[in-house]
Structure 1
Amino acid sequence: MLLSRYQDVLVEAGCDEAGRGCLAGPVFAAAVILPPDFQHELLTDSKQLSAIQRAELRPVIEATALAFAVASVSPQEIDRINIHNASYLAMHKALDTLTPKAQYIIVDGNRFIPYQQTPHCCIVKGDGKYLSIAAASILAKTYRDDYMERLAPEFPEYGWCQNKGYPTIQHRSAILQHGVTPHHRRTFRVTDPQLSLF
């Protein structure tokens, strides 16, 4: 894992999102600026970590980062502007609240809508290559999981404590039986448990 691309000369933020493929709930994104000497033996792509490991890393990231921010975009806004644009909007909202401001942005994935006049680089599987992107992936994932777990008791039929809004067979079957909630993304295909997501 690399710490940064240009952190020796620029204030560099790593960005990632969580929840893009879900049927319910917001999409979350995080932006993280790590100190130049940051290292942690566990830090990697959040999808490669257990929930316990992510929970262990989150306070470490929050305590040691030079700056971090987490933002979300609602299911209604996702339906209005589409999930890709909503993911970039969530990243922009997170970047808006960083202090100090990022002078360079590294983003997980192969696409990004430019943020103001700040230069950026898209890095495929960047959450497994750069520590700041990995840190952002963990914050976005843990904040989103916490959000879905808080919603779950109000809508127990959908199993959000377990599936966090992702399109499991249990989740799709509950939609068939009980319909959609105000937290479901209406533009996503949710009416048949055997259908693919898009």
Structure 2
Amino acid sequence: MLRELHLTGDPAADKLLNDDPFALLVGMLLDQQYPMEHAFAGPRKIADRMAGFELGKIAATDLDTFVELCVTPPAIHRYGGSMARRVHALAQHIIEHYDGDTEGIWLSGRPKPDGPEVLERLKALPGFGEQKAKIFLALLGKQRGVQPKGWRETTGAYGDRGSRRSIADVTDEKTLAEVRAFKKAAKAAAKG
């Protein structure tokens, strides 16, 4: 089941996420110490400044030039410089390891990769750790129809039906508010 993504509150930014798997992956990369909807709007900011959003063009752009483009206000992230370097490295990684095909991360291979294999591939990406990889795999499974065998078990609680714990569960303003409330409560409980 392919669900229309509504992650940013900006129809143009959401359209890019729907149309371009690399944009969605970059949004997930930026979803760190920054409001979710702003992180996922980052690819649109890059697209506006580069006359389009193309993985190959990003990878081929001089790193200093790309960083400058990303830190220009409004920056793509609170930590625009370091995140720009990660986006650039991510584009280069996908070219080197997947021939520029972002979906190859979760689709390539015979037999097709299962949930644990996709998780390992995601964790190998620049800027992705265990938690970010699990959340992105849950997002693919819940909203993009990418459901490799064992994906729910592999993502742990992020794959739970009806949960409201991450961007994987955001489908509108209401669910965004529910995810925010969950995160706030979890943070408060951690400070305990």
> RCO (CA 8 Å, sep 6+): is it higher in 1 or 2?
1
Tell me which structure has the larger Cα radius of gyration: 1
Q: Scaled by the length of structure 1, what TM-score is found?
A: 0.28
Q: Scaled by the length of structure 2, what TM-score is found?
A: 0.29
Structure showing the higher strand proportion among its residues: 1
